[in-house]
Amino acid sequence: MKSFDAIVIGGGQAGPFLAARMVEKGMKVALIERKFLGGTCVNAGCMPTKTLVASARAAYVARNSAVYGVNIPGEIAIDMKVVRARAETVTMNARNGLIGWFAGMDGMTVIYGHARFEDPKTVSVNGETLTAPRIFLNVGARPVIPDLPGINDIDYLTSTSIIHLDTLPRHLAVIGGSYIGLEFAQMYRRFGTEVSVIEHGPKLASREDEDISDAIADVLRSEGIDIHTGVSDIAFARSGDGITVATDSARIDASHVLIATGRKPNTDDLGLDAAGVITDKHGYITVDDRLATNVEGIWALGDCNGHGAFTHTSYNDFEIAAANLLDGADRKLSSRILAYALYIDPPLGRVGMTEKQARASGRKIMISTRPMSRVGRANERGETKGFMKVIADAETKKILGAAILGIEGDEVIHGIIDAMNAGTTYPALQWSVPIHPTVSELIPTVLGDLKPV
């Protein structure tokens, strides 16, 4: 049995950085990774997908360049082998950077293999037994594959496998109208593929307010994406060299099917029962406000604890754990204000409550909206789709939430995120003097238009 001061299981966006901090403190740490360092973000999520989004954006701009007085003769062709290679290069650079970083750390032992608990202080991997008084789980999540008729008879794609395509699908059917599915839907439409989105719920991006969901659908439809919502029955069948997707309202002749119906935590094969670690009914590890599980000496970070399926929330879990365990701080998970983005084009930046949530809270609220067509920078760039929306508490004057669907919305939202984290009231923000011409300069204007509802 090998002894360590800490064992980290999973090489995502929380565990490795916590391991590095502990090594800096002179601890002996084992980092166990089943497959690739970097987790979903580096290998199958943010980095490769946003690289693909950039390629799709370049194709879209080239096709529409004549609007800006730039004429490109001939057809805009897509070389998917180059597109794929570019995304893989970005991934490999990041992954190899982590490998090199850890190789230079005295006190860090990186082990590739599948870890399982033997007891609360002991794990086994590759036939070896390791023990430590502190064990951190950062095992991430994977795509959910629903039990639909005929699904096992087809070669479907997931968000992990689709990034390796080096040929262009004729017709891509996307099963699931949430964030992952919508990004791939627009991306492949811009590459030149026919795309259909099939969603069980009544609207796309069901977490969002109805006006945001409707605007997202308008953006996608304007680019020729076929959208089906409220679909109750879906079945698949092979048809020649393609796939027939049959629903209660349509029959789609697809060449490829992407299953994007959510993700589930990688907790079912860790031997959590042997350690006594409790999970909820969905498999997420139950943690307290400081990310500790019910078992002393075991913590769960990142996607597997169900408190955020994002790289930035996972990294924030590392920050909370490191501050509390290594720096004598008292940081809490409940202090986090959730923010995220949907990387269609234009992007959606979101923070805090939706209008629906704010109304349900019983507060007296104020709301302001402004179409992007009334934003100077958007008009100058010729990108006026979407709108801004801010929700505030009428009594405390605090901002409760915001949504910015529009050009640079994923960046502009940070002005609101920073204000909310600082506890700044919206009247104070109205007196800022933003730079012109930017999209962010409209934040004080939107705040000035807040009206009671």
For residue 126, what are the CA distances in angstroms to 123, 129, 212?
10, 8, 49
- Whether 182 contacts 159, CB under 8 Å: no
Q: How far apart are CA 102 and CA 198, in angstroms?
A: 43
The SS3 of residue 57 is helix
130 forms bridges with which residues in the sheet? Answer: 2, 123
Is 180 part of any known ligand binding site?
Answer: yes
Is 199 part of any known ligand binding site?
Answer: yes
For residue 99, what are the CA distances in angstroms to 17, 104, 288?
13, 9, 31
Structure tokens that stand for 211 in this block: 């006006």
Name the catalytic one among 164, 228, 282, 436.
436
Is 39 part of any known ligand binding site?
Answer: no
Q: Residue 218: what residue type?
A: D
Is 345 part of any known ligand binding site?
Answer: no
Q: How far apart are CA 326 and CA 21, in angstroms?
A: 8
Handedness of CA 16, 19, 25, 27 (dihedral sign): negative
Is 303 part of any known ligand binding site?
Answer: yes
For residue 160, what are the CA distances in angstroms to 12, 40, 314, 355, 391?
15, 9, 19, 33, 36
Is 432 part of any known ligand binding site?
Answer: no
The helix-helix angle for 179-191 and 210-222 (nearest 10°) equals: 20
Is 210 part of any known ligand binding site?
Answer: no
Is 356 part of any known ligand binding site?
Answer: no
Is 411 part of any known ligand binding site?
Answer: no
The 3-state DSSP composition of the chain as helix, strand, coil percent (nearest 5) reads: 35, 25, 40
CB burial readout 133-169, b (16+ within 10 A) else e: ebbbbbbbbbbeeeebeebeebebbbbeebbebeebb
* Angle (nearest 5°) at CA 81 between 80 and 83: 60
The sheet that has 242-247: what strands, in order across it?
Answer: 234-239, 242-247, 251-254
- Whether 231 contacts 199, CB under 8 Å: yes
436 is an active site residue: yes
- Whether 117 contacts 123, CB under 8 Å: yes
Q: How far apart are CA 376 and CA 81, in angstroms?
A: 38
Is 176 part of any known ligand binding site?
Answer: yes
Q: Residue 329: what residue type?
A: A
- Whether 333 contacts 292, CB under 8 Å: no
Is 177 part of any known ligand binding site?
Answer: yes
Is 182 part of any known ligand binding site?
Answer: yes
Q: How far apart are CA 326 and CA 35, in angstroms?
A: 28
Residue ranges at the known binding site for NAD(+): 176-183, 199, 262
Residue ranges at the known binding site: 50, 176-183, 199, 262, 303
Catalytic residues: 436
Residue ranges at the known binding site for FAD: 50, 303
